[in-house]
Structure 1
Amino acid sequence: MKPYKVLVVDDSAFMRKIISDLIEKNADFQVTATAVNGREAVDKVKELQPDLVTMDVEMPEMNGLEALKLIMLDHPLPVIMLSGINEEGMKETILALEGGAFDFIRKPSVSSSHDINSVGESLREQMKEAMLARERREARSASELSSAESTPALQPPESASSMPPAKPADKQDGGGGGHTSGKETQDVKAPILRPLSQGTGISAERKREDKPQLPRTERTRSVSTGEKPEVGRIKSLSPKKSDVPVREPIPPRTPAQGAGPDIPTVSGKDRKLGAKGLTKLVAVGCSTGGPRALKALLENIPADFPAPIVIVQHMPPNFTKSLAQRLNTFSPLDVMEAEQGMILRKGAAYIAPGGYHMKVTETAGGQYAVALSKDEARNGHRPSVDTLFESLLPLKALERHAVIMTGMGSDGAKMMKSLYDAGITSTFAESEETCVVYGMPRSAVELRCVTYILPLQDIAPRLVQVVK
């Protein structure tokens, strides 16, 4: 097999050399060209049609973000951004991930050979995953095309506005696109993804081998409580942030036992009052492709959502703060980087800070709070989704919901399985058709612990329906 062609883009000749050498330590990749700025990169992508691009974020004449937009418009391909750790570089990186970049790495310190080698390992892993993801998408597209050519054309689905009201038994359909008959509803033990042309996803029924099977209508009630929202109703439930009442701050808490002096601890003026008697909680985990997925999720959750959302996104220190600030501009929720001792409240989302594990703990006063630690990395990550999910196991008084979206590896799947077996209310996994990398969700699906397997655009509406 011929090596994959890579274009390296950086305004520093020294950095171009370092990155090229790191790439070519893997014989499957060959640096076929370099570029000194975004404008030259756009021209060389058009001329050489590489398989992959590494792109510096900050460059003269045309920066990486501007070049990325043009490349994705005319010649979409995997782009890995190289970011500095300055504030502007981090903001630009978050925008690049929203704009279609596959992932990013921070630039290595040229004075540290260990740091250079560490960055090289991460870069080569991302490149391999990018190529695998592309090949899986191409194979799936070819399969769907072949299936479409050999199958009679399907009648277009009824529009949502012309559909009759759903019967109670119909509430097990997968998302927001149409009916699911009893035969089409798939058991979670053998999940089957439908082609895009046949619907928007699957809601897998939960089946317990150690309990007698309930009639279908009763199973529906056990998973999704309340009436199904009318079409177009969800966004109308979202008041503007300015309409959300301001909550009085409460005195600062003492950091949790074992928390080091460098654990970020919220001050009284920054803390917002949590709700006593909190009954619901949503936990989300994601990695590669996560910033874009989180945007799609959080901008469609209404401000009156009756549960806090705690989130682990695999990302280095400092970048998570830029991510939270960016997501806060889109979401009706209050989105923030979590800090030690923060009291969780409805209508807010908390992102674990890079470099810290995040857990949810119950306070003596009956509230639920953030606990941060610098414990050893888990599954190669800190923060880890498994660590967050595991902290929910003892919180049996809460109605708990867990979500795994796009990402490399299997972080979160093991503890989602433990939560599922312990009787968690619902579990969600993003389906392959919309994942940037179908790693973490696939691991959960293979463990047969997923209630709903849905494309990204259907996760928020279904989550709102189930939680409300």
Structure 2
Amino acid sequence: MGNKKILVVDDSALVRRILSKIIQELGYEVDTAKDGEEALQKIQQENYDLITLDIEMPGKNGIEVLREIMEKKPTRVMIISSYATDNADVTLEALDLGALTYITKPGKLGVDLKKIEEEIKVKIEESLKVPKYKIIANRRNKTPKIIHKEISTTDFVPKKDHKYVLIGASTGGPRLIEEIARTLPENYPYPICVVQHMPVNFTKKFADRLNSISKLTVVEASNGEEVVPGKMIIAKGGYHLHFRRRQDDVIVCKLVSNARGRIFVPSVDEMFFSALEVMNPKDIIAILLTGIGDDGADGMVALRKAGAYTIAESEETATVYGMPKEAYVRGGASKVLPFPEILEELIKLGMETDVQKA
């Protein structure tokens, strides 16, 4: 383990010291850089297994540094920044450029890192598992093998049954959720609920971005939001997405605080288990995409046992083969498919059978 080397890039000496200690406790070697220029010099001279990168720094900011890293020497990068809290667009841009994941520094000065030490350790360990060849593939404009061929939905005739699509994702997920939002036709018959691991303030921006490219209505979850056809609901950062059934039989969203102390808020497991209590399992289509850790795996096992149709993304296309792998290993996946086939399956599941045969 000790042969792995991690570069910590942050303009705060205190943050560099705290992060270095956390990383050393994992058994890895640590190097540090106080700004973007120093980081880029060191990256050219050394081969780092992972880089933790602040966004707001004097001179070159984190986005500029990330862009250069990915152009000149693609490397695993995690964003650790307090700047991300109020600037979701910037962090979404970092993901587009190839950053694997992001952590929001807590505290007024972003130095209360001990509070999220477990999250940092989990994300470092999982990020190190990402194969080098997938670092380039994680960049939006470099994903021809992963993103699906153009799927025609011009002759799409929707089924008239009532099902619910539940999707969970983490690292590498945003661009896949975008592909789903972009591809599904406006008359798609099933509502779609998505838990994408994102901090507070990110999910509204993410939902707005998806809404601008989708034929469906895409919204951030709120209490009482109706789970109905023609709508994609993105779980709200800082809350778990649960469901309840109104007196008129319509299922609506319910935002729940993190009483169980889960690392990821929102949590895929929380959505899956809540769905089991409110929806007929045979009406549930559950999908677990790329992501760090095992969130959603236990929920998917429970869903499959109850009769839901469950799909896990295959290692072939998953940026991080963590969550879908655990679902498969634990027996929670009815099917394991690469992402393009998951998208095609979603279309077929909502389409009238006679149209499929035509």
Sort the TM-score into its range (normalised by shorter chain): 0.7 to 0.9
Q: Distance in 2 between matches of 1:306 and 1:412?
A: 24
Normalised TM-score (structure 1): 0.65
Asked if the contact 1:58–1:89 (Cα under 8 Å) also holds between the matched residues in 2, the reply is no
1:287 is matched with which residue? 170
Select which of 293, 304, 311 maps to 1:409. 293
2:341 equivalent among 440, 458, 467: 458
Give the Å deviation of 1:89: 2.8
Alignment of 1:311-322 (within 5 A): 311-322=194-205
**Counterparts of 2:161 and 2:256 in 1: how far apart (Å)?**
24
SS of the counterpart of 1:341?
coil
Match of 1:212 in 2: none
The one of 234, 239, 255 equivalent to 1:351 is: 234
Letter of the aligned partner of 2:114 in structure 1? N
Structure 1 residue 96: deviation in Å? 1.1
Superposition pairs of residues 39-188 of structure 1, within 5 angstroms:
39-84=37-82, 88-109=86-107, 115-134=112-131
User: Do the aligned partners of residues 137 and 110 (structure 1) sit closer, same or farther apart at CA in structure 2, a change above 3 Å counting?
Assistant: same
SS in 2 for 1:299: helix
CA deviation string 1:433-461 (max 9, x = no partner): 22222121112112333233112233212
User: Cα offset for 1:300?
Assistant: 2.3
Contact 2:151 2:344 in 1 (8 A): no
User: What amino acid is the match of 1:54?
Assistant: T
Residues in 1 aligned to 2:57 and 2:272: alpha-carbon distance in whole angstroms: 40
Provide the residue aligned with 1:431 in structure 2: 314
Q: Is the 8 A contact 1:286 1:404 kept in 2?
A: yes
Unpaired runs of 5+ in structure 1? 139-198, 201-230, 239-276
Distance 1:398 1:315, change over 3 A: same
Q: Distance in 1 between matches of 2:226 and 2:161?
A: 11
Indicate the RMSD between aligned Cα atoms, in angstroms.
Answer: 3.0
How far residue 282 of structure 1 moved from its aligned partner, in angstroms, is 0.4
Question: Structure 2: where are the runs of 5+ without partners?
Answer: 136-144, 352-358
Distance 1:404 1:237 in 2: 28
**In the alignment, is the contact (CA less than 8 A) between 2:297 and 2:330 conserved in 1?**
yes
SS of the counterpart of 2:129? helix
Q: Aligned partners of 1:21, 1:3: CA distance in 2, in Å? A: 16
Q: Is the 8 A contact 2:82 2:105 kept in 1?
A: yes
Measure, in 1, the Cα distance between the counterparts of 2:204 and 2:35. 30
**Greater C-alpha Rg:** 1
1:439/1:71 Cα in 2 relative to 1: closer, same or farther (>3 Å)?
A: same
Query: Partner residue of 2:138?
Result: none
Count residues in correspondence. 336
Matched, 1:419 2:303: yes
The DSSP-based 3-state class of the residue aligned with 1:336 is strand
Q: Secondary structure at the match of 1:445?
A: helix
Residue in structure 1 matched with residue 11 of structure 2 by the alignment = 11
Matches of 2:5 and 2:51, distance apart in 1:
9
Q: Deviations over 1:200-233 (max 9, x none)?
A: 9xxxxxxxxxxxxxxxxxxxxxxxxxxxxxx855
CA spacing shift, 1:397–1:316, aligned 2, 3 Å: closer
Partner amino acid for 2:30?
Answer: V
Instruction: State the shift of 1:364 in Å.
Output: 1.3
Paired residue for 2:31?
32
Partner Cα separation in structure 1 for residue 31 and residue 165 of structure 2: 46
- Residue of structure 1 equivalent to 2:356: none
Distance 1:352 1:310 in 2: 7
TM-score, normalised to structure 2, is 0.83
Identity of aligned residues (%): 35
Shift of the 93–120 alpha-carbon distance from structure 1 to 2, 3 Å rule, reads: same
